[in-house]
Amino acid sequence: MTGKPATLSRPAALPRERGESESRALVDPVTRLWNQDSILGILDRELARIRREVGVVSVVRAEVDFYRRILDEWGPEAGHPVLRYVARHFRGWVRTYDAVGRYGESGFLAVLPGCGRADATIKAETIRRIVAAVPVPVAEGRQVRVTLSTGVAEGRTDSREVVLAAAEALRRVRKANPSRA
């Protein structure tokens, strides 16, 4: 795969382009972002491409802070609006050739081709501030302020390695800021 696929960051368009059952297998039903398997596949393809063409891919691993507490305090019905809110901001934040997927229960993974670690760190801080700016309506008349913790890693070879490095960076952020854990 050379070049940048036009639909890399736009899984919401899939139902028109593919069969409904195929799109369900690729897209997270809550966030309408790539699901975990799909985003990892995209990362594998991007790493293979940069090995051929020489380049870099960065990964941003993001987690909603206090997601369990949100569920405990407002109930499970509050979780989906929070995830959709974060997903909507991720969709607006990425370039057309970046990709974002849901990763785990309350996490997201962004694949940023051609973006070095320093630039990816700046982008991660930007999305973190955007998400925290406005409270999310979770129930009638109730809102919750949502924050993210992020970890960034740059990779050139192995998707597992770069995802683990981003997860470790995220862990360090949360350890340094226990109020985010």
- Which CATH number belongs to the domain containing residue 124 in this structure? 3.30.70.270
- Does the residue 10 lie in any domain? no
41-63 pLDDT, tens digit per residue, is 999 999 999 989 889 999 999 99
Question: Band of the pLDDT at 15, cuts 50, 70, 90?
Answer: very low
User: What is d(CA 144, CA 74) in angstroms, rounded to the nearest whole number?
Assistant: 9
For the chain, give the longest Cα–Cα distance.
53
Q: What is the pLDDT of residue 2?
A: 36
- Does the residue 8 lie in any domain? no
- Does the residue 121 lie in any domain? yes
- Does the residue 126 lie in any domain? yes
Burial of 90 per CB tally in 10 Å (0-12, 13-18, 19+):
buried
Q: Which amino acid makes up residue 84?
A: R
- Does the residue 11 lie in any domain? no
User: Within a 10 A sphere around the Cβ of 135, how many other Cβ atoms?
Assistant: 12
Mean pLDDT for the chain overall: 87
For residue 143, give both structure tokens: 């809102």
Q: What percent of the chain has pLDDT over 70?
A: 85
- Does the residue 157 lie in any domain? yes
- Does the residue 35 lie in any domain? yes
Residue 128 lies in domain: 18-180
97-132 pLDDT, tens digit per residue, is 999 999 999 999 999 999 999 999 999 999 999 999
Q: How many domains does the chain have?
A: 1
- Does the residue 148 lie in any domain? yes
Could you tell me the pTM of the whole model?
Answer: 0.86
